[in-house]
Amino acid sequence: MPRSFKISLVNGSTIQNIQSLTILNSAMISELNIAYSCKTGRCGVCKVSLLKGEVKELQAQLALTTTDRENHKILTCCCEPITDVVIDAEDLAALKGLNVKTLPSRIAKINVLSNDIIEIQLRFPPSADFKFLEGQYLDVIWNGIRRSYSIASTSLDKEVTLLIKKVELGIMSNYWFTEAKLNDLLRIEGPKGTFFLRNKENPIIMLATGTGIAPIMSILHKLDQDKNYQQLQSISLFWGNRFVDDFVWQPEFKNITVNLEKIISKPNSSWIGKSGYIQNIALEVLGDKVIESDVYACGSNEMIQSAKQNFIQAGLKEGRFYSDAFVQSY
């Protein structure tokens, strides 16, 4: 008979783990919401300190550094407890009641935004009651293939909007860009992820590369729609792309002010803005302001890992850096 071990969070929440399940999967089954994103060991969002007990690695903890391992850090998506354990994870109460559902959906709109980016709007049945927090993602399932996409719309919108970038040799990408048509039937599974706005009262720094702007759009538009939100602190957005044509969103807000810096990694002779790595430029522009801010980063895993390291070195507390890494699938 499989042996069960107790998993305890520092806030006192406890669940039981069954042999062969990771800590994260046990938490999700028990409706305990702890931070995660890719579930493949690559993004590091689910990294926690193992305060007590022992674990066994079920898949490679690729996001851990040598220093992380020396400091008893583990990835909950990769590890199974082999004794009772205590971890410093937080139970994210804001996600209570947002249960993952599998639902039918149909393509309501296809907008071509650039040569490499399209906007897809999905329509659910009236009875679907699909609820999510701005910043979360969903899985789209087509012909047995599953891919994850961040939601670009808000929970107040009638349809769910996705931004999709073309991936060379990508099977799902080929469907989106050459086969998809209005009213196609798809399945979705969601909402997923723990990327959402934690505190509206702190200064906010947002970092996005490519279509990593999608969950940022969702969060900002929801703030703009919130009649009870009064902006008292700055919101700074640094959005990086390879080419000018990749800036497919022009933000327009009625009730909030966002300081937007567009950054190109491969500028042409006509580009008069900044160029380089967005995390470095953000630090140059904001200086010591980063210390008292909350940072939200979405996009390439390389950018996120570099940004996290640089911002922490600049004085940001690790617990105030929130991220959602895009881990590419073909």
Residue 329 pLDDT class (50, 70, 90 cuts): low
Give the per-residue pLDDT at 2. Answer: 62
Domain spanning 95-192: CATH superfamily: Translation factors (2.40.30.10)
Helices 301-313 & 278-286 angle (0-180, nearest 10) = 30
The answer to whether residues 62 and 9 touch, using CB atoms and an 8 Å cutoff, is no
Please give the DSSP secondary-structure letter assigned to residue 177. I
Helix (H) or strand (E) holding 221: helix 213-225
DSSP readout, 118-137?
A: EEEEEE--TT------TT-E
Give the per-residue pLDDT at 11. Answer: 84
Q: Say which residues have a Cβ less than 8 Å from residue 319's Cβ, sequence separation at least 6.
A: none
Distance CA 89, CA 157 (A): 32
Per the listing, tokens 């399932």 go with 141
Q: Which CATH class for the 204-326 domain?
A: alpha beta
204-326 has the same fold as 4-91: no
Mode of pairing for the β-strands spanning 14-18 and 55-57: unpaired
Mean pLDDT of the region 134-138: 97
Q: Which CATH class for the 4-91 domain?
A: alpha beta
Q: Where are the domains of the chain?
A: 4-91, 95-192, 204-326
**Percentage with pLDDT > 70 across the chain:** 98
Q: Which two tokens stand for residue 326?
A: 């895009």
Say what the pTM is. Answer: 0.93
Distance CA 149, CA 37 (A): 12
Mean pLDDT of the region 111-128: 96
